[in-house]
Amino acid sequence: MTDLYNLTIHEAHELLTTKKLSSVELTQACLARVKKVEPGVRAMVTLTEETAIQQAREADKRIAEGKVTPLTGIPALIKDNMCTKGIRTTCSSKILETFIPPYNATVVEKLTAAGMVLIGKTNLDEFAMGSSTENSALFTTHNPWDLERVPGGSSGGSAAGVAAGEALYALGSDTGGSVRQPAGFCNVVGLKPTYGRVSRYGLVAFASSLDQIGPFTKDALDCALVMNAISGHDPNDSTSVPEPVPDYTHGLTGDLKGMKIGIPKEYFVKGMQVEVDSAIKAAIKKLKELGAQVDWEVSLPHTPHALAVYYIIAPSEASANLARYDGSKYGYSYKETDNMWEAMEKTRQYGFGAEVKRRIMLGTYALSAGYYDAYYLKAQKVRTLIRREFEAAFEKYDALVTPTSPTVPFKIGEKADDPLQMYLSDVCTLPINIAGVPGISIPAGFANGLPIGMQIIGKPFSEPTLFKISHAYQQVTDWHKKRPPV
């Protein structure tokens, strides 16, 4: 048998339900893997070993009683910006370093009910602001494919953890690419669902109109299984949509006959790495061989404005969302003064890192009287144009295919001092959040041993189409089966 930590969810489920494997054994295999790789990878902020063993025992009991779901007894990781009752939730920020939530995020509640085994909470760029985990105030996570390189971000810990076999799946959050970009960099599958598909209740808010929680898995089928468990309307999140949840594992036929796929030319940008360009084009040819009709001449002309729109809207919303961290309610609090204003100011001065402060200042500026119309309102108008452009494209195509990132994973430190260069690593993923549509990144090749991700974008609630295409591709390729050397 292969190493247990290399199993997919569906493979492990099969072994668990036929009693060839217990959840305790599987959990111990992942914990042993954590001990081995964590000194180099550093995916995890908090290891929840005791919780894991206890949940594994309960899962084994459930399995013995025949009360199983596809996720029962399967080890998982949760990004450390989702609330876990009684377990520290830091957002990789000094300001929340000691925060222990009194409640579970809805997704955590749902996964726990499904029988999750929680291995730990994963590292991120502080408050999910970044593309490399270098903005974490705690430490940087390393890419399991090359420890000198970044795993992507902001959900870099979740992506690296799944790639390195520390758990079988993970959750991340994606505001402008934070699930898809690290998935691409670590050679795993990562989905940003349709806005409103998955409850954000208990996800620490960054930019509320863009944030969405999504899974990291080893293949498309596993991703569908996790989406079955976490999707659906939640009365605690007024932006979650009361749209029925289909069984996402249906329709994975391996056949793409009749599927219309468009290739938007604006995503094959200047400055893109040649190996990425050729890998994605080769992958698209495969989709054609599988029966899809491919149109190479699609144009989404507003794409170049997405970066600017994002960096007005996301910081604006962040500046409002982060106003709550003032030292009086939770987290770090500056105590060496009797002056309330000084305490608030110093709490934020010491508690937030440089990137978070930069975004708060940008957002506050964009929303201020006198500048609001020129920046925020204008950005919202362009946002509408971008959304309409996608709507028009989806009248003709079932899906659009692009690279996930213009490059393979870069070196730690390479872009850390240049925020604009860092922002550019999400050019291909940002427009999808702006439009609120779903996007998935799947492994599609390598350049010099470093992973390349392919992004597939669909109309709202077309996750089944994204899974169908991804699954078909994975039937005829084995990029997703490659494991890192770590």
Binding residues for ligand GLN, rule: CB under 6 A, are 128-131, 154, 174-178, 206, 314, 426
DSSP character for 375?
Answer: I
Report the C-alpha gap between 271 and 279 in whole angstroms: 15
Closest distance to ligand GLN from the beta carbon of 135 (Å): 8
Would you say the C-alpha torsion 122, 123, 127, 128 has a positive or negative sign?
negative
The runs of H, that is alpha helices, within 176-237 are 180-186, 220-230
Active site (annotated) includes residue 155: no
Pairing, β 450-458 against β 399-403:
antiparallel
Closest distance to ligand GLN from the beta carbon of 176 (Å): 3
Confirm if 422 and 131 have CB atoms less than 8 A apart: yes
Catalytic residue among 92, 158, 173, 178: 178
Active site (annotated) includes residue 79: yes
Closest distance to ligand GLN from the beta carbon of 318 (Å): 9
Assigned token pair, 484: 């890192």
Catalytic residue among 79, 110, 121, 459: 79
Closest distance to ligand GLN from the beta carbon of 184 (Å): 13
DSSP character for 409?
Answer: P
Report residue 226: phi and psi, to 5°. Answer: -70, -40
Helix (H, G, I), strand (E, B), or coil: what is residue 279?
helix
Q: Which residue is nearest to ligand GLN (CB)?
A: 178
82: β partners: 203
Closest distance to ligand GLN from the beta carbon of 314 (Å): 5
Nearer to ligand GLN by C-beta: 130 or 193? 130
Q: DSSP assignment of 84-149, as one string?
A: BTTB---TT-GGGTT---SS--HHHHHHHHHT-EEEEEE--SGGG--SSSTT-SS----BTTBTTB
Nearer to ligand GLN by C-beta: 12 or 203? 203
Nearer to ligand GLN by C-beta: 263 or 367? 367
Nearer to ligand GLN by C-beta: 178 or 303? 178
Choose among 61, 45, 48: nearest CA to 125: 45
Q: DSSP assignment of 343-365, as one string?
A: HHHHHHHHHS-HHHHHHHHHHHH
Choose among 265, 319, 255: nearest CA to 287: 255
DSSP character for 376?
Answer: I
Nearer to ligand GLN by C-beta: 73 or 130? 130
Choose among 406, 213, 377: nearest CA to 303: 406
Nearer to ligand GLN by C-beta: 128 or 362? 128
Confirm if 50 and 57 have CB atoms less than 8 A apart: no
Report residue 232: phi and psi, to 5°. Answer: 125, 165
Active site (annotated) includes residue 178: yes
Report the C-alpha gap between 466 and 287 in whole angstroms: 12
Closest distance to ligand GLN from the beta carbon of 360 (Å): 13
Nearer to ligand GLN by C-beta: 133 or 240? 133
Closest distance to ligand GLN from the beta carbon of 406 (Å): 13
Catalytic residue among 23, 92, 136, 154: 154
Closest distance to ligand GLN from the beta carbon of 150 (Å): 12
Report the C-alpha gap between 390 and 427 in whole angstroms: 16
Q: Which residue is associated with the tokens 């219309």?
A: 260
Nearer to ligand GLN by C-beta: 175 or 407? 175
By annotation, the residues acting in catalysis are 79, 154, 178
